[in-house]
Structure formats: C-alpha cells, structure tokens
Amino acid sequence: MRGEVQRGELRHDRPDDVPEEVPDEVFDALADPTRRRLLDEISSRGPISATHLAAGFPVTRQAVVKHLSALSTAGLLSSDRHGREVLYAVVPGRLQQATAWLDDVGRRWDDRLAALVEHLSPPPPA
Amino acid sequence: MRGEVQRGELRHDRPDDVPEEVPDEVFDALADPTRRRLLDEISSRGPISATHLAAGFPVTRQAVVKHLSALSTAGLLSSDRHGREVLYAVVPGRLQQATAWLDDVGRRWDDRLAALVEHLSPPPPA
DNA sequence: ATAATCTGCAACTCAGCAGTTGCAGATTGG
DNA sequence: CCAATCTGCAACTGCTGAGTTGCAGATTAT
C-alpha cells in the first residue's frame, strides 16, 4: 500500500478565499512573545516611541519597529507622529475580536457537553 | 556615527526564564489558521480521529497529526485511544487562559484612558 | 490467515520570519 | 551652522515550522 489516500476535499461549502471568519493577522501578531511584551509595555506606559521601547528589550530598534509594524497591521496599535518621533498606542477594541472567537469555540463546546449530559441523564423519577 | 547604541538592558526585574506570566504555547498553537480551523471542527463535530479530520482538510494526515500534537501540548485538546483510533476532544478551560491575558491588556488600557480623561476634564463650574 | 485501516516515527524540502548591519533622510538643540 | 537624535529603507543571515514522502507496527474485519 503506497501513498495513503489522504488529502480529501472539504466537506464544508466555504469558499477558498474565506476559510474562516476570524481575524487572521490578530492571532498572527499575538503569536510572538516579544510582540505580546510590547503590547504589555505600551498598555502600561502609555504612548511611546520605538526607540524608547527598544531600550527595554534585548533586541535592536529595527526588530522592535518590525514588531510594531506587525501589531499596527493587525489593528492592535495606532501610530501618531509628534515632531521627529512616532508614538505608538494601543487600540483596545481590536482585542475583543480575538476573544470573541475564543469564546465562540468554548461556548460551542460547552453546548455540546450540555446536550450530551441532557441526553444521557433522563429526568429523575418524581 | 556607526552602529547606533541600541540593545539596552531590561528595566523590569523579571528573571530571564520567566519573561511573562502568559501561556506561551497556547498563543503559539492558536497562531496557525489550520490549527484554529481544526479546533473549530472538533468543537462542532465532537471527538474525532486525525484521519477523519484530515479528510476535510487540504493537507495530509501527517500534517493534521502534527497540528493536533501542538494543540495537545498547549493543553487545548485531549486525546483518548478507542481501539485502533485516537479521538481528539476540546479542553475548553484552557481557552480562558488566553482570554485572560487579552482581557488584562485591554482592561489596563481602558484604565489608562479613564485616568487620563479624569485628569484632563476638571469638574464643570457650578 | 490475510487484507484493509489507523496510527506513529523519521528524514527531507522549502518558505517565511525574526533579527541583524549599514546607511540615508528628517528633525530638534546648542 | 553643526552635531545629536530619531526614523526609515534595503539587503543579508539563520532558524524554525509547515508540509511532504516512505515505511513499519498495531488493530479490526472478512
């Protein structure tokens, strides 16, 4: 037996370009530990420049800038230019999109379990 | 000027091996779109084997197995062997750890904004 | 027993991303 | 004006992770 017939076609009728209604870049941005620490710092210290942030991190300023760009692309940060420096700030509403998906999965699973319990345990004799 | 004095030392006194109190593997597991779709499927269809899942995905069974392993390592899935097949199920409690961090950052930022508004707007003249 | 399934391990390829260095443009301060 | 500072762009390196193929062991069905 060679080659195992794997790689079937999808059963769901989602179009290929809309595989899920989930904020893709958001999770991607949150995946990196350094990016999460940056979000952490900014949320604590308030609007701050890349150079100032980099002073507190073990990586170069350029690396920090790339991470901030990723976070901005995901809509988690906003950047405003003040004079010669650029201050980054948190956009809190965007975080809810991530939690929404997590809650959805969790709730769906809870519903499954609840339905299962309901099905397995008939009402006690009165 | 060559070399820019970047790469400063951390200002926080966190030890290096405990950079953050955040579920690292969880975010790492949630970073991949395929893994999120797998979680999605399992939460909808209930306990299911890797082979069955792979039939609905455009990748090989092995790839699915690797993703399921990552999700299990993160504590998001549990696996039970029934006969010759292994059924994967969602562990919903673990998802709350991820949402907890997101909520923390969001709430902290909201507090900052609230304090700022409080400070900038003195009580109106009576 | 034998064929069909399902799982698991190992080695390999390949693209992407984190991080780096180097330099040039723009802005503030003395 | 000149020096210091902050930002931005581009090219390069290195590693990790997603996905693959190939095969072997275990379990069920005929």
A56, pLDDT greater than 90: yes
Cβ of A63 < 7 Å from strand C?
Answer: yes
pLDDT score at A114: 81
Locate the domains of chain A by residue range.
24-120
Q: Which of A6, A33, A110 sits opposite B61 (nearest CB)?
A: A6
Q: Which of A4, A31, A92 sits opposite B109 (nearest CB)?
A: A92
Query: Looking at the domain B24-120, which fold is it?
Result: Arc Repressor Mutant, subunit A (1.10.10)
DSSP state of A37: H
A8, pLDDT greater than 60: no
Q: Where are the alpha helices (DSSP H) in chain A?
A: 24-31, 33-45, 50-54, 61-73, 93-120
B8, pLDDT greater than 60: no
| Contacts with B60 from chain A: Cβ below 8 Å | 4, 6-7
Compute the average pLDDT of residues A46-63. Answer: 97
| Contacts with B59 from chain A: Cβ below 8 Å | 7
- Give tens-digit pLDDT for A97-113: 788 888 889 889 888 88
Identify the closest residue of chain A to B8 by CA–CA distance: A55
